[in-house]
Homo-oligomer: A and B are copies of this chain.
Amino acid sequence: MTKKKGRQTVCFENPPVILNTYSIGGVKESEGPLKADFDKILDDDKWGEDSWEKAETKLQKEAVQGAMSGAGVQPENVDYIFAGDLQNQCVGTHYAMRGMDIPFFGIYGACSTMSESMSLGAMMIDGGFADKVLCVTSSHFCAAEKQFRFPLEYGGQRTPTSQWTVTGAGAALLGSDGKGPRITAVTTGKITDYGITDINNMGAAMAPAAAETLMAHFDDLNIAPDFYDLILTGDLGVVGSDILCDLMNKNGYNIYPKHNDCGKMIYDIKAQDVHAGGSGCGCMGSVFCGHIMKKLKNKELKNILVMATGALMNPSILLQDESIPGIAHAVAITAEKIGE
């Protein structure tokens, strides 16, 4: 007997609270429509560091410190950090966390990291192992381009389906008790691969995983898309979002009126020339921890499903004729009071 409902979903007995979040946006992000919703904005993408990689480390450090200090919480009161990023061996995260003096679990879910970390963090709390957990992620456009595609100096052309990796970070402090929106359920994804091989079309590679997790969520809880005010994906962008909505529609779920995607929201897609929209762990990290949390706090949003999606390849395995597997983890959040 477990707390599971169906194959992939867990419902919490004592839904963990999102006590505080902190969101940081880079230069390009601060020129987009959500500029007012970041807690901090960079005026230079190196942010005083001597490399992009180290700037990403600083993003996570500052996000963690912001999330803690805004809640009046000291590091010694945080039981665990769950964090990861896109850099090889997640070094953005590790160098940020080495001074933290907080027990650390490293995770890798590519761009699904924000909802993977919140899933595990919420389970730690509801399972009785923690009172407070930090869930953290980031990405950096320049570090990611260099590592996954081409050096920026090369000036490569971007294809129409390509997305722009967000420079940004988000940290969410979860607690067993207190004021704030609550995580009521999580649905954990399976690795899904529909055979997409185009490294410049991450949205198409991740959309099938999003559809499968979303259908599992609805099935496991016996609910329909109408249950939510908003079904928010992480970084499917314009192309992947359309594929997700169409796939869901073919399976009998109309999510068109409920769906939005952080990768579509964070930029003014045409004016900022980002082709298919934003991507990267920091996309949902910064949008959820900034813009979305504000709307949950002021009750503009009441019941939402937050589902970050990750593409689980690396460049060398794609050169070995492999396709791109994806994963998506869903986190159900309510701003309503529970049990009243």
Chain A residues proximal to chain B, CB less than 8 Å: 1-4, 7-8, 10, 50-51, 53-54, 76, 79-80, 84, 86-91, 94-95, 97-98, 100-110, 116, 119-120, 123-124, 126-131, 176, 188-193, 312-314, 316-317, 320, 322, 325, 327
Please give the distance in Å from A168's CB to the nearest CB on chain B: 20
Contact across chains for B108 and A90 when beta carbons are under 8 A apart: yes
Contact A105 B2 (CB under 8 A): no
Report Cα–Cα, A101/B190, bound state, in Å: 6
Residues from chain B with a CB closer than 8 A to the CB of A110 are 89
Nearest-Cβ distance from residue A255 to partner chain B, whole angstroms: 21
In the bound complex, CA of A116 to CA of B82 (Å): 12
Chain B residues with CB below 8 A from A3, complex form: 128-129
Instruction: Determine whether the beta carbon of A91 is less than 8 Å from that of B123.
Output: no
Return the contact of A50 from the options B120, B129, B320 (Cβ within 8 A): B320
A104 to chain B, nearest CB (A): 5
Q: Which residues of B contact A313 (CB under 8 A)?
A: 89, 91, 94
Q: How far is the CB of A230 from chain B (nearest CB, A)?
A: 24
Most B CB contacts (10 A, CB to CB) among A4, A90, A103, A325 go to A103
Contact yes or no, A10 B105, CB < 8 A: no
When all copies of this chain in the complex are counted, the total is 2
A130 to B5, alpha carbons, bound, how many Å?
A: 11
Q: Which of A126, A128, A130 has the most CB of B within 10 A?
A: A128
Which partner residue on chain B sits nearest A186 by CB separation?
A: B129
A193 near B98: Cβ-Cβ < 8 Å: yes
A-B contact pairs, 18 of them (CB 8 A): A2-B129, A2-B176, A3-B128, A4-B129, A50-B320, A89-B108, A89-B312, A91-B317, A94-B312, A94-B313, A95-B322, A98-B192, A103-B188, A103-B189, A104-B188, A106-B108, A107-B107, A108-B108
Residues of B within 8 A of A123 (CB): 123-124, 127, 129
**Cβ-defined partner of A325 (8 Å) among B8, B50, B98, B102:** B98
Known: A116-B106, A314-B88. A79 touches B2 (CB 8 A): yes
User: Top 6 closest A-B pairs, CB basis?
Assistant: A127-B127, A103-B188, A94-B312, A98-B191, A89-B314, A108-B108
Q: Given A89-B110, A108-B108, A131-B2, A100 and B54 touching (CB < 8 A)?
A: no
Whether A190 pairs with B103 at a CB distance below 8 angstroms is yes
Residues of B close to A322: CB separation below 8 A:
95
Cβ 8 A contact of A314, one of B50, B87, B127:
B87
- Residues on B with C-beta less than 8 A from A106 are 107-109, 116, 312, 327
Nearest CB to that of A109 among chain B residues? Answer: B106
Q: Return A14 CB to nearest CB of chain B, in Å.
A: 12
Q: Report the nearest B residue to A213, measured CB to CB.
A: B103
Of B2, B103, B128, which is within 8 A of A7 by CB? B103
Q: Quick check: A100 and B320 within 8 Å, CB to CB?
A: no
A4 touches B130 (CB 8 A): yes
Task: List, in ascending order, chain B residues with CB within 8 A of A80's CB.
Answer: 188
